[in-house]
Amino acid sequence: MLRIDRDRDAFLAIDVQNDFCAGGALAVADGDAVVAPVNALMARFTHVVATQDWHPADHASFAANHAGAAPFSTLAMPYGPQTLWPTHCVQGTPGAGFHPSFALDRATVILRKGFRAEVDSYSAFYENDKATPTGLAGLLRERGVERVIVAGLATDFCVSFTALDARRLGFEVCVVIGACRAIDLNGSLGAARGAWAQAGVAVVESGA
């Protein structure tokens, strides 16, 4: 059972967006299945953050912006290796919008990330350079939050990076794995779960 303290806990609903769901440009297998459990979780918290990938069309992580590069290949960036993705969640497009059944009205914060063209941003706390903060940590601390509960899309990228950064910043962290779905690119799901265990990220199956 996931016991929730409404004052000290926050729920982070990660990237429940059209492009990551069925028919989207970067659809995660069974991605739509996270909507109902994420909505149910959102209803139980005072502090609810909905993150939103919000990329410019010329974003450096898009394979289409590198001549001859294939989607899901890797390119060396100044901040390290970067997976090149199909063009997705472009600012102002329907694909960047939240899933139509997502209970956005329950969110008290909407955090847009990945809006800098030169660096990707999986985590809700930092750009992928691990140095440029989003400001979320300060916001949560000012609200008295000590633990974050994380779910959404995709388990092994934005959910995982968010969870690990939250631990690095000193928050207690729990991933609700049943309210997530993974890409699992070249073993990335197993690698993520191994990193969680090492970092002290708790995992529960559901929020019940």
113 catalytic per annotation: yes
CA distance 71 to 185: 12
CA distance 108 to 122: 21
Among 9, 15, 120, 156, which one carries the catalytic annotation?
A: 15
Distances (CA, A) of 124 to 50, 67, 92, 134, 164: 9, 29, 20, 7, 10
Among 21, 89, 158, 180, which one carries the catalytic annotation?
A: 158
Among 21, 53, 89, 113, which one carries the catalytic annotation?
A: 113
Residue 194, classified by CB atoms within 10 Å of its CB into exposed (0-12), middle (13-18) or buried (19+), is exposed
184 catalytic per annotation: no
DSSP for 128-170, please give it.
TTSSSB-SHHHHHHHTT--EEEEEEE-IIIIIHHHHHHHHHTT
129 catalytic per annotation: no
Give catalytic residue positions: 15, 113, 158
